[in-house]
Amino acid sequence: MAPLLSVSGLSVSYGRVSALTDVSLTVNEGEIVTVLGANGAGKSTLLRAILGAVPAKAGGIAFADEDVTAEPPHKRIARGIVLVPEGRRILISLTVEENLLLGAHMRADAGTVRREIDAIYGRFPNLAERRHMAASCLSGGEQQMLAIGRAMLAKPKLMMLDEPSLGLSPLFVSKLFDLIRELNRDGLAILLVEQNTGKALSVAHQATVLELGRVLMAGDPKALAADPRLQEAYLGEGEAAPAQH
Ligand SMILES: Nc1ncnc2c1ncn2[C@@H]1O[C@H](COP(=O)(O)OP(=O)(O)OP(=O)(O)O)[C@@H](O)[C@H]1O
Ligand SMILES: [Mg+2]
């Protein structure tokens, strides 16, 4: 499999606070790669750095064989990188349909966009019924589906999801993971940050565990699931381990 995203020796700081140190990770074409770790481990920072929203202090990021380390986010988005951030960030005063259209703002093929929006409505009937209502009327799970639908309309090659299952009911969590599998089956590479380690390891082809900004372990998700250090990664700073579903 050809590498799509290669992060090598990446370090990121916020002022004097070091958030990532010497992090390397590869997402091959067609893969789901999950990044796990306790609160503050640097997961969101890694996704922000891949998008270009925070600069690399050291190391490099390559996408589809091009060095993108110095590129601003809009250029990386145009290459096919999309981030669904923590907390979804949909625009709640806009309608469901307006939110979807925002995802397609860089596309000129209006006819194809229309068909894709209709396909998203076909997949999510709850969104179809509420297409002309303000997005504020959606439940948390529906808002997450809207955020992913909007990201799909950007026609990405790599979709990064930051804790998409956070706050969702068990029903929506399984819907979400079905969707992740389905998008991946259609060829989309996915970089998935999750606190739901069990679910994430069950869908992923590769996994990386961060601890205090460094890679603690990486490799086969099944092997990692059985590794006691995975539990340790969640027990740093005296915190309780998150519930396993
Ligand atoms: N804007 C910022 N300014 C200063 N420090 C920050 C900023 N964002 C994050 N940090 C720090 O960087 C480190 C990594 O944070 P990050 O948000 O990447 O972790 P995370 O793994 O996503 O955590 P969580 O599970 O809580 O979302 C933490 O020590 C955090 O306090
Ligand atoms: Mg985070």
pLDDT in tens, 41-99: 999 999 999 999 999 999 999 999 999 999 999 999 999 999 999 887 789 899 999 99
Mean pLDDT, the chain, integer: 92
Expressed in angstroms and rounded, the spacing between residue 122 Cα and the centre of ligand 2 is 31
- Compute the average pLDDT of residues 109-118: 93
pLDDT band at 222 (very low <50, low <70, confident <90, very high): very high
CA–CA distance, 98 with 117 (Å, rounded to integer): 11
* Ligand 1 and 14: CB distance under 6 A: yes
CA–CA distance, 207 with 185 (Å, rounded to integer): 18
- Compute the average pLDDT of residues 227-239: 68
**69 vs 105, which has greater pLDDT?**
69
Q: Return the minimum-mean-pLDDT range out of 48-57, 92-101, 179-188, 223-232.
A: 223-232
CB atoms within 10 A of CB 53: 15
pLDDT band at 108 (very low <50, low <70, confident <90, very high): confident
Amino acid at 114: R
CA–CA distance, 192 with 141 (Å, rounded to integer): 17
As assigned by CATH, the class of the 3-80+156-238 domain is alpha beta
Q: CB of 50 within 8 A of CB of 160?
A: yes
Quick one: pLDDT at residue 235?
A: 60
Mind listing the pLDDT tens digit for each residue in 191-221?
Answer: 999 989 999 999 999 999 999 999 999 999 9
Check whether 245 has a pLDDT greater than 90: no
CA–CA distance, 220 with 125 (Å, rounded to integer): 36
Burial of 29 (0-12, 13-18, 19+ CB in 10 A): middle
pTM of the predicted model as reported, rounded to 2 decimal places: 0.93
141-to-16, 88, 134, 168 alpha-carbon distances in Å: 37, 10, 15, 6
Where does the chain hold its CATH 3.40.50.300 domain(s)? Answer: 3-80+156-238
- Compute the average pLDDT of residues 116-142: 94
Please report which ligand is nearest the Cα atom of 36: 1
CA–CA distance, 178 with 186 (Å, rounded to integer): 12
Check whether 234 has a pLDDT greater than 80: no
Q: Which residues lie near ion ligand 2 (Cβ < 5 Å)?
A: 43-44
Quick one: pLDDT at residue 241?
A: 46
CA–CA distance, 146 with 236 (Å, rounded to integer): 34
pLDDT band at 29 (very low <50, low <70, confident <90, very high): very high
Closest ligand 1 atom to residue 46 Cα is: 18
* Ligand 1 and 16: CB distance under 6 A: no
Strands of 66-67's sheet, edge to edge? 17-28, 3-14, 58-63, 66-67
Which token pair is 111?
């006819």
Check whether 240 has a pLDDT greater than 70: no
SS3 162: strand
Strands of 189-193's sheet, edge to edge? 81-84, 158-162, 189-193, 32-36, 206-211, 214-219
Quick one: pLDDT at residue 238?
A: 40
CA–CA distance, 206 with 183 (Å, rounded to integer): 17
Which residue's alpha carbon is at the smallest distance from atom 27 of ligand 1?
Answer: 39
CB atoms within 10 A of CB 14: 9
